Structure 1
Amino acid sequence: MADLEKDINWENLDSLESFKKLQSLKGAVDIAKELSSAAASQRVKDYSVNMGAGLTYNYAAKQVNEKVLKVLAELSEEAMLVQKFQALYNGAVVNTGEKRLVLHHLTRGQLGSAVVADGTDKREFYKNEQKKIADFAEKVHSGKITNEKGEKFTTVVQIGIGGSDLGPRAMYLALENWAKANSRFKMEAKFISNVDPDDASSVLAGCDCAHSLFILVSKSGTTLETLTNEAFVKDALKKAGLNPARHMLAVTSKTSPLADNPEYLASFYMDDYIGGRYSSTSAVGGAVLSLAFGAEVFADFLEGAAEEDTLSANKDLLKNPALLDALIGLYERSVQEYPATAVLPYSQALSRFPAHLQQLDMESNGKSVNRFGQKIGYVTGPVIFGEPGTNGQHSFYQLLHQGTDIVPLQFIAFKENQTKTDVVIEGSTSQQKLDANVTAQIMAFACGKTDSDPNKSFAGGRPSSLIYGTELNPKTLGALLAHYENKVMFQGFAWNINSFDQEGVQLGKTLAKKVLARQTEGALKAYAELLNL
């Protein structure tokens, strides 16, 4: 491992000869012309890559051609992007800011050699935690673990914030209807995240607390918002005459004050080598998803993620969808200088997926210094936003079509809906109408429309990609999640930044503690007084 790390060059993007070549290709591809030509149909077929688990990444509507792709492949090789991924999954200390390994890939499979940290084989550690969760979930579902009255639990509520909420919540919502349609639904899941008391109050008002399990998720065991919400829930349980220790689980690290604590019915573990936004395939997502849908569904989810991880280890750019997506995105951000990317899932099940990707991408690659703390002279992560289609079409698509900024688009679509129920109206089903909108938007954004009325003219030239498959199920969801995790990782490597810490989150926390401790002065004190603090 030491030799592998030694052979890797961690250089800034603007020092690479391939990046200079890429800059010379700015604006070289007219996507409207490409998709209007006689060869357009063949381009749509050829510009596709297998993502695993039945998904395909299509980039025919991106502003790339064979020449651009050749330079992107050169950049991948010169920046040693796949070698850096290999170093990561073999146990290199890639998180330089916190001097930690980065091991979320190990939660779903062994890509390289065994990784031993803290005297533990980490793959075996994560497998054992998965098994513990599976055993616990089975006992809850079978009635071997019950409330004080011997009654089954029917609801699970996750208490956490950031990565302890956004990813697991998005994954649960993505699979809820699928599970119901396939007789895999076990328990309803709810989520409490915001320290705003109205959040916890609303969730508790919709719960039968006597038949609810609460999962407290905090790696450190010290997250202020999460511990505040835990106290809120415990108070509600006590007022209902219930013993919190019979209703609460902990997902934490073995070094936290929550570990092996008798105040919890059970404890499941993660560690410092898994960042919150990368934790959906760990116990953070595993506990709630296994309780909601069964351990087999969670295992399938991990299998889909592992399939995409394997593809991400391929050095061939055109056989590595996450790397290809990452480098096209880098071209759009660092060469074309597009400020944002819109993630547009044409699937209601993925309604919170863009919110998860906001954190994943912006918390990872929102950096202006390199991995050594030195200022960099090029732009890094884009703003990420999105809503499910067709809702977004009636919201912010106006700016996407005719606004002054070009915003690259990432569409996600499926041929079939999850419930397999539909109705024919005016000669087509709802699903067909949904997918027709996807294809129409891709072409409308790319090719635009001229009109004598400038207000009705569309410039076109708006690039997009399409990820598609037959249906959204546990395996496809796992592959989709891993695709974006690996895309963000590869972009961070190329920008030579550390995608695995988040110091930007910490400053506000520190100042908030000062406000609560009444240790303020100047403008901070004045702002606090505006809110009676």
Structure 2
Amino acid sequence: MIQYRNLDETTVYQRLQGQVQRLRTFDFGTHLTAERVRSYQVSVGGGLTYNYAAKAVDEELLQTLQQLSDEQQCIEKYQALLDGELMNTGEQRRVLHHLVRGQLGKPVIHEGKDLGEFYAEQRQRFSAFAERVHRGEIRGSTNQPFKTVVQIGIGGSDLGPRALYLALENWAESRGKQKMKALFISNVDPDDASQVVSQLDLATTLFVLVSKSGTTQETLANELFVKAKLQKAGLNPARHMVAVTSETSPLAHNPGYLDSFYIDDFIGGRYSSTSAVGGVILSLAFGPEVFAELLAGAHEADRLALERDIRRNPSLLDALIGVWERNSLGWPCTAVLPYSQALSRFPAHLQQLDMESNGKRVNRRGEPLSYGTGPVVFGEPGTNGQHSFYQLLHQGTDIIPLQFIGFMQSQRQDDVEVDGSTSQTKLKANLIAQIVAFAKGKKDENANKHFPGGRPSSLIYGELLTPRALGALLAHFENKVMFQGFIWNLNSFDQEGVQLGKVLTKKVLSHSSGDGALDAYAGLLGI
């Protein structure tokens, strides 16, 4: 029987705390050997490997982390989630984003509907739609074929799909797989929509409106902005828009759209990139077969996440080491550092994924917690970040665990040799140097040039950032966040923290908030 207990109620918790003194000053100079680098790693799926050699862990700690995973029943809880149990306790919902990538549990039946079949049917529908667009069978108001697709959405309807599109754009374009250029509108700031629309030939542009509820304020404002531009250009908006929404929303079965594709309340926004939310635009941009490869990579990582042995389960191991760093070593932040320009927006997606999921101060029962939960997540691609915030990472007063991502080859393989090495080789050399520099540091009598070291990092690496590798990378982090929520006894699948601001925004716009501070600030900004 599954039990839900707080981290500090486990029998293992004090054992973890007892290992802090031994490992807080872990000597990487002694322990970070060639053998450790080669052996402290595990397959992620999709051709990727998770390497944790530069983490402050040893064999004794790994055994304790295994015991923590077993005591918190991480695998049993994951299987329950896969089987369709109500894991989102705040909203009394199932959590089914894994099911859009393939079935790993029992068939999930809701109100007589097989949800696995429903998700597969929607994928077949939007795949067929994308192919018809590519063949020129579906055209806009002037009977010209569509060349560009623009997604209108915010939060999970933007961050994940945008990050995935940018991650594959170079790969697809250099291999003749780019079917349509894709752009994104998210911010309610009119400068966002105006800038995007100014780049478009509206007659050959298809818009994808994404809102599960059909009532998202920012998204509907941007939809009206775009519709006004289409009408001003003499175009019929109904022939230039599709909707991704729930079957119960005002957007569903609406003749104002070319077609509608459906998700449901069991696919959370930040976990929705592998559903129709990301699938429609990625299939239009690159073709359904590319999206299918991404799903296959994600499904492979999901399957590996069922391994009970943490040394064979990269997302669970990554999660446990993160809990150790957060709750035993007391480090409240983590940096995601992809040495790949293609992953330029991936840290922004992970910010939402992690901080919206596990940025909670109460447990699944609504009881206050006495320990830290989700870390602050930030990041920037290398080598840009090296010339920005790495100063603090190397010599600042706080230790910030680092998560590096790197690839052996560039996506376009369009390179130049300078001073005996290519740019891609220089990129990889920088990544390797940073891992060792953070871990081992450098002694210097000049305090300003002294690097204390002891700054731990992990590395996910592979040959090339392909759709399959990207899917596995995405699922790795989704599952890591899920496992940490299990360990901290959180509901990682609601986001009440975003609601209060929405309520107060409506009060401001009503001009009758009854709150003097709200009205005063509204006056400052001319509302």
Map residues 16-27 of structure 1 onto 2, 5 A cutoff.
Answer: 16-27=10-21
How far does the alpha carbon of each residue in 1:58-94 deviate from its partner, in whole angstroms, 9 at most, with x for none?
0000000100100000000000001000000001100
**Which residue of 484, 490, 496 corresponds with 2:477?**
484
Tell me, what secondary structure is at the counterpart of 1:399? helix
Return the letter of the residue paired with 2:108: V
**Which residue of 512, 515, 527 corresponds with 1:519?**
512
Map residues 287-436 of structure 1 onto 2, 5 A cutoff.
Answer: 287-436=280-429
The answer on whether the counterparts of 2:15 and 2:64 sit within 8 Å (CA) in structure 1 is yes
Return the letter of the residue paired with 2:100: T
Tell me, what secondary structure is at the counterpart of 1:257? coil
Residues 31 and 310 (structure 1), Cα distance of their counterparts in 2 relative to 1, 3 Å cut: farther
How far does the alpha carbon of each residue in 1:33-66 deviate from its partner, in whole angstroms, 9 at most, with x for none?
34445x7111111100011110000000000010
**Which residue of 262, 274, 278 corresponds with 1:269?**
262
Distance 1:326 1:525 in 2: 44
Match of 1:244 in 2: 237
Tell me, what secondary structure is at the counterpart of 1:28? helix
Distance 1:219 1:104 in 2: 14
Distance 1:117 1:161 in 2: 28
Identity %: 63
Return the letter of the residue paired with 1:274: I
**Which residue of 111, 128, 147 corresponds with 2:104?**
111
Tell me, what secondary structure is at the counterpart of 1:468? strand
Return the letter of the residue paired with 2:149: V
Tell me, what secondary structure is at the counterpart of 1:384? strand
Match of 1:498 in 2: 491
TM-aligned CA deviation for residue 522 of structure 1? 1.2
Residues 31 and 319 (structure 1), Cα distance of their counterparts in 2 relative to 1, 3 Å cut: farther
The answer on whether the counterparts of 1:32 and 1:447 sit within 8 Å (CA) in structure 2 is no
Match of 1:88 in 2: 81
TM-aligned CA deviation for residue 532 of structure 1? 1.0
Match of 1:281 in 2: 274
- Asked whether 1:28 is paired with 2:16, we answer no
TM-aligned CA deviation for residue 31 of structure 1? 7.1
Tell me, what secondary structure is at the counterpart of 1:179? helix
TM-aligned CA deviation for residue 32 of structure 1? 6.2
Distance 1:34 1:444 in 2: 10
Tell me, what secondary structure is at the counterpart of 1:483? helix
The answer on whether the counterparts of 2:141 and 2:240 sit within 8 Å (CA) in structure 1 is no
The answer on whether the counterparts of 1:31 and 1:463 sit within 8 Å (CA) in structure 2 is no
TM-aligned CA deviation for residue 30 of structure 1? 6.4
- Asked whether 1:194 is paired with 2:223, we answer no
The answer on whether the counterparts of 1:341 and 1:384 sit within 8 Å (CA) in structure 2 is yes
Return the letter of the residue paired with 2:85: A
TM-aligned CA deviation for residue 125 of structure 1? 0.6
Map residues 225-244 of structure 1 onto 2, 5 A cutoff.
Answer: 225-244=218-237
Distance 1:130 1:253 in 2: 14
- TM-score for both structures, normalised by structure 2: 0.99
Distance 1:273 1:397 in 2: 39
The answer on whether the counterparts of 2:130 and 2:288 sit within 8 Å (CA) in structure 1 is yes
Return the letter of the residue paired with 1:191: F
Match of 1:532 in 2: 526
TM-aligned CA deviation for residue 243 of structure 1? 0.2
Match of 1:253 in 2: 246
Match of 2:430 in 1: 437
Q: Structure 1: which 4+ aligned runs deviate by more than 6 Å?
A: none
TM-aligned CA deviation for residue 148 of structure 1? 2.4
TM-aligned CA deviation for residue 118 of structure 1? 2.8
Tell me, what secondary structure is at the counterpart of 1:17? coil
Tell me, what secondary structure is at the counterpart of 2:225? helix
Return the letter of the residue paired with 1:15: E
TM-aligned CA deviation for residue 19 of structure 1? 1.6
Residues 27 and 215 (structure 1), Cα distance of their counterparts in 2 relative to 1, 3 Å cut: farther
Return the letter of the residue paired with 1:522: G
TM-aligned CA deviation for residue 27 of structure 1? 4.2
How far does the alpha carbon of each residue in 1:150-205 deviate from its partner, in whole angstroms, 9 at most, with x for none?
21100000000000000000000000000011111000000000000000000000
Tell me, what secondary structure is at the counterpart of 2:464? coil
Distance 2:164 2:403 in 1: 19
TM-aligned CA deviation for residue 149 of structure 1? 2.5
- TM-score for both structures, normalised by structure 1: 0.98
TM-aligned CA deviation for residue 422 of structure 1? 1.0
Distance 1:267 1:195 in 2: 23
- Asked whether 1:62 is paired with 2:55, we answer yes
The answer on whether the counterparts of 1:342 and 1:384 sit within 8 Å (CA) in structure 2 is yes
Return the letter of the residue paired with 1:269: Y
**Which residue of 113, 134, 150 corresponds with 1:120?**
113
Match of 2:2 in 1: 8
Return 5+ residue gaps in structure 1 as ranges.
Answer: 1-6
Return the letter of the residue paired with 2:357: S
Tell me, what secondary structure is at the counterpart of 2:200? coil
**Which residue of 153, 163, 179 corresponds with 1:170?**
163
- Asked whether 1:454 is paired with 2:447, we answer yes
Return 5+ residue gaps in structure 2 as ranges.
Answer: none
Distance 1:358 1:524 in 2: 28
Distance 2:124 2:450 in 1: 58
Return the letter of the residue paired with 1:287: V
The answer on whether the counterparts of 1:367 and 1:381 sit within 8 Å (CA) in structure 2 is yes
Tell me, what secondary structure is at the counterpart of 1:252? strand
Distance 1:31 1:49 in 2: 25
Match of 1:222 in 2: 215
- Asked whether 1:44 is paired with 2:64, we answer no
Return the letter of the residue paired with 2:434: Q
Tell me, what secondary structure is at the counterpart of 2:20? coil
The answer on whether the counterparts of 1:27 and 1:336 sit within 8 Å (CA) in structure 2 is no
